Structure 1
Amino acid sequence: MNNIYMVFFDLGLNKGGITSAVLNRSRYFYKNSYPADIVTFDYKYNSSKVVKELKKSGKMYSETKLFNMFDFFESRSLVTHSEKNQFLYDYYDHLLNESLCIVQDEKISRYFSKTTGEYLLYKKGNFETGNYVLDRFENNQRKERVYYRKNVLKRIKEYDYKNRLISERFFDELGFPFLRRNINRETGKVGKIYLLTDNKQFENSSELCSYFLSGLIEDRSENIIICDGPGSFPKILAAGFTYVKKYAFIHTNHINVRNKEKNKETYILKNGDQLDGVIVLTESQKNDIIRDYNLNNVSAISNFIEIPDVVNKPNNDSKKIVGMVSRLVENKGFVYLIEVAKIVTSIYSNVSFNIYGEGEYRSRVEELIQENGLENNFKLMGYTNDPNKAISEFDCVVSTSQIEGQGLSIIEAMLQQKPVVVFNVRYGPSDFIKHEQNGILIENKDTEKMANDIIYLLENEETAKKMGKQAREDIIKQYRPELIMQQWEKVLDLQ
């Protein structure tokens, strides 16, 4: 039987993109009797809680397992101990008990020496639940920050005299250290790592991650690794597998908005001959990669697409809504969307552009809204856990993105029978949008044409409805789960 391991950096609760794609893939693989689990490298004190919440929400399949590097090494540490490390707890308890405590409020307390008045400790958090941090000071300078979770000491950070992080220590549930890593005080990057459970030293995080992979996954031909995070690729190569099948899934465009190669994705493509296969989302990207990198092991497989029921549009006032579900990042082309909104609302003041999503570009979008006087017609709605409900509010869906891997948010809109007006960029839209049949493709950055087509759809409701209905039919036909599963079975040679 094949065992499939899908590798990327971290798994979080409120993440879309790669996380959603991998969770969905695991679900379909398991339903077809192919165990497909997730492997991550990040540190989370509550990774089990994250998994529990994801499964409770239905985002993560009930049988999917998470193999996290820190959890893996912590479990090794616990095997070697049977009792609590009382010495560690006694040390910090003694500091607290022998100090004078001054309570600021229910979340903050400070501790001072009873004999000298020296500032010794700072305690902050929820003391009832046992989730708090404890800062230890010497000569009025912070030396350590100790992290407690449910009164269990989990991590200690150490600082230099300039309050710069210089190292971290990680502890198992019984309070024994299992890993220490040094931090470059100038750059903040991780340096040498000491794996105390295995008496081993590593020069950097990549070496540790490779060691973890080689310990987790048995080197057999039945085992398959899919690298879903581009930063994980060198770690997989360095793990030294001889028989494990290795694939890299590139979820995004390997070319940036300035038409330059992306470093991580390009590294994968330039080393693609060391893999059993490279997988991308669209045929057009596959063809470009074969041409530009002379690779003959490239395949195109779409993400699994959930086919939801159509959510009825809620009753609202006469205002028309043009919408988008998107991360608020620069390459989504918000400067062009603002131009489009300005043209549309200059003709129809009862149109609102509603954007669901969050990101580091939010403040800049807010500035653009104010600079163009669109405060009453351009709304940032924040993150949504229910994109289909958000999409149901829209009369029309727009995308000014400058770069795509596939355009999943557009596909989701089409499944909700919404007419879409989209810049025709690499890659994705032209793979599933038939111009003026199930959507409208606009030459990139032609904001005037986009605005005019939006106005046309808002004025011609029957045309918009017909286009939306055709969109759903076409997407369901093109992205049937059984068809995508067949493609995976062929590429991975699943048995």
Structure 2
Amino acid sequence: MKKIALVKWILDDSGGGERVAISLANELTKKYEVHLIGITTKQSDLFFKINSQVKYSNFFDHRVRLSKNILKISKMLKKYFRDNEIEVAFGIGISANVFLSFAGIGTQTKVVLCDHTNSITDNREFSQKVQRYVGAKFADKIITLTQEDCRNYIKKYGISEEKIDYIYNWKDDGISNVAYNDESAKIVTVGRFDYQKGYDYLVQVAKKVLAKRSDWIWEIYGSGDQDEVDKIRDLINENGLQEKLVIKGLEKNQDLIYGDKGIYVMTSRYEGLPLVLLEAQQYNLPIVSFSCPTGPNEIIEDGVNGYLVECYNTDKLSEKLLELMEDEVLRQSFSEHAKDNLDKFNKDKILKQWLELIETI
């Protein structure tokens, strides 16, 4: 039985990266001996449940600085790989790129780096450029979440097509039995509180649309950086939206999040492949989203099951959202096509890609 490891910087959050790492580890136990390593994970009670067959390890039970601990973590991983005879190691998220690449040097372990945001928007942070550059040069394989990002890697880093591929996140098996309610006057957005998610844009849009349709409410589900939560709450209060734009916090029950909603909205500055859009489609929700890099363009069919809007154009997003809010028939039409393209995110198809990668690398 092949021995593999999945490595992630933190595992105690509720984001897409944590979900993917744990879900993938759980599924791969059906065929392999799977080790899941959280480098700096504070909580023993993780948001996502780990299969009892997964061999879970945590290097630090408190937050540590990546920049000051790269060599230490690399040595710890190298020892772990040798002691446990790990054949393939997956780094989930680019924060793993440098220390995992170094850990693989001088071992028999093949290193696969999985980028869970995108290489198009890393101009904002020098550290992201370094992490992706090191990964592109030293990893045995790079996996992106989208075709768009895969093409960008080849162009940006000059790597061969054989060294890189894209594998979509899968949608969960369960399909909602909750019928879409085209009379619902509720909008929903889900995601952690972070600059990336563009909640400042969301407040601008909410102010415009809720002023015209005061019978609607908008709910935000998620946790995250408390400073960001406070900042967005202050913006909500400053704009007099506290009764109509409501921060609901963290919620595990997807029926409560999506089940009684009429529209899903995403205002992210950038993404990898946003799982929340797949979740919204499973609940037959029409979607309005910025056409940000990357993901929305490969999930939403513009004018068929949602609207893709020019990045960060809050006026245009408000216009398209109002169009949906005011047209019950259009919402129903979009809802009927919500699941049209979900087959390409089929779990069995995507797991087959992971298995082929593990067997051939």
TM-score by length of 1: 0.65
Mapped to 1, the partners of 2:147 and 2:299 lie a distance apart of 11
Q: Say if 1:17 and 1:450 are closer, same or farther in 2 by CA, change over 3 A.
A: same
Structure 1 counterpart of 2:285? 418
Mapped to 2, the partners of 1:233 and 1:329 lie a distance apart of 22
Q: The residue matched to 2:280 in structure 1 has which SS? A: helix
**Conservation of the 8 A alpha-carbon contact between 2:120 and 2:152:** no
Mapped to 2, the partners of 1:251 and 1:265 lie a distance apart of 14
Structure 2 counterpart of 1:332? 197
Mapped to 1, the partners of 2:207 and 2:41 lie a distance apart of 45
CA RMSD of aligned residues (A): 2.9
The aligned runs of 1:289-308 (5 Å cut-off) are 289-296=153-160, 297-308=163-174
Q: Say if 1:303 and 1:69 are closer, same or farther in 2 by CA, change over 3 A.
A: same
Structure 1 counterpart of 2:347? 481
Q: Say if 1:34 and 1:465 are closer, same or farther in 2 by CA, change over 3 A.
A: farther
- Please tell me whether residue 323 in structure 1 is matched to residue 172 in structure 2: no
Task: Output the amino acid matched with 2:297.
Answer: S
Deviation at 1:436, TM superposition (A): 0.9
Deviation at 1:220, TM superposition (A): 9.7
Q: Say if 1:458 and 1:307 are closer, same or farther in 2 by CA, change over 3 A.
A: farther
Structure 2 counterpart of 1:223? 87
Q: The residue matched to 1:379 in structure 2 has which SS? A: strand
Deviation at 1:420, TM superposition (A): 0.3
- Please tell me whether residue 448 in structure 1 is matched to residue 315 in structure 2: yes
Deviation at 1:427, TM superposition (A): 0.4
Task: Output the amino acid matched with 1:447.
Answer: T
Task: Output the amino acid matched with 1:421.
Answer: V
Q: The residue matched to 2:98 in structure 1 has which SS? A: helix
**Conservation of the 8 A alpha-carbon contact between 2:236 and 2:242:** yes
Mapped to 2, the partners of 1:262 and 1:242 lie a distance apart of 29
Mapped to 2, the partners of 1:407 and 1:11 lie a distance apart of 18
Structure 2 counterpart of 1:274? 138
Deviation at 1:254, TM superposition (A): 3.0
- Please tell me whether residue 368 in structure 1 is matched to residue 235 in structure 2: yes
**Conservation of the 8 A alpha-carbon contact between 2:11 and 2:41:** no
Q: The residue matched to 1:414 in structure 2 has which SS? A: helix
Q: Say if 1:275 and 1:348 are closer, same or farther in 2 by CA, change over 3 A.
A: same
Deviation at 1:370, TM superposition (A): 1.7
Mapped to 1, the partners of 2:85 and 2:58 lie a distance apart of 22
Structure with the largest fraction of strand: 1
Matching residue within 66, 72, 76 for 2:56: 66
Mapped to 1, the partners of 2:65 and 2:15 lie a distance apart of 26
Structure 2 counterpart of 1:3? 3
- Please tell me whether residue 42 in structure 1 is matched to residue 40 in structure 2: yes
- Please tell me whether residue 209 in structure 1 is matched to residue 92 in structure 2: no
Deviation at 1:383, TM superposition (A): 1.2
Mapped to 2, the partners of 1:357 and 1:419 lie a distance apart of 20
Matching residue within 255, 260, 267 for 1:393: 260
Q: Say if 1:388 and 1:29 are closer, same or farther in 2 by CA, change over 3 A.
A: farther
TM-score by length of 2: 0.88
Q: Say if 1:9 and 1:333 are closer, same or farther in 2 by CA, change over 3 A.
A: closer
The aligned runs of 1:66-465 (5 Å cut-off) are 66-69=56-59, 205-218=69-82, 223-239=87-103, 240-256=105-121, 259-260=123-124, 262-264=126-128, 266-296=130-160, 297-312=163-178, 320-360=185-225, 361-465=228-332
Deviates more, 1:433-442 or 1:270-279: 270-279
**Conservation of the 8 A alpha-carbon contact between 1:278 and 1:299:** yes
Task: Output the amino acid matched with 1:7.
Answer: V
Q: For 1:235-260, what per-residue CA distance to the aligned partner results, in whole angstroms no more than 9, with x for missing partners?
A: 22333333211111111123448x43
Mapped to 1, the partners of 2:70 and 2:292 lie a distance apart of 34
**Conservation of the 8 A alpha-carbon contact between 1:319 and 1:352:** no
Mapped to 1, the partners of 2:135 and 2:306 lie a distance apart of 38
Structure 2 counterpart of 1:15? 14
Which protein shows a greater Rg?
Answer: 1
Q: Say if 1:221 and 1:269 are closer, same or farther in 2 by CA, change over 3 A.
A: farther
Q: The residue matched to 1:381 in structure 2 has which SS? A: strand
Q: For 1:327-352, what per-residue CA distance to the aligned partner results, in whole angstroms no more than 9, with x for missing partners?
A: 12222222221221122122111111
Task: Output the amino acid matched with 1:479.
Answer: F
Q: The residue matched to 2:292 in structure 1 has which SS? A: coil
Mapped to 2, the partners of 1:425 and 1:262 lie a distance apart of 21
Mapped to 1, the partners of 2:272 and 2:358 lie a distance apart of 21
**Conservation of the 8 A alpha-carbon contact between 2:221 and 2:250:** yes
Bigger relative contact order, structure 1 or 2 (CA pairs below 8 A, ≥6 apart)? 2
Task: Output the amino acid matched with 1:419.
Answer: P
Task: Output the amino acid matched with 1:312.
Answer: V
Structure 2 counterpart of 1:106? none
Mapped to 2, the partners of 1:388 and 1:292 lie a distance apart of 41
Deviation at 1:448, TM superposition (A): 2.4
Mapped to 2, the partners of 1:268 and 1:386 lie a distance apart of 35
Mapped to 1, the partners of 2:272 and 2:85 lie a distance apart of 30
Q: The residue matched to 1:322 in structure 2 has which SS? A: strand
Structure with the largest fraction of helix: 2
Aligned residues: 355
Q: Say if 1:16 and 1:435 are closer, same or farther in 2 by CA, change over 3 A.
A: same
Q: Say if 1:287 and 1:266 are closer, same or farther in 2 by CA, change over 3 A.
A: farther
Mapped to 1, the partners of 2:254 and 2:284 lie a distance apart of 14
Deviation at 1:482, TM superposition (A): 1.6
Identical positions, percent: 25
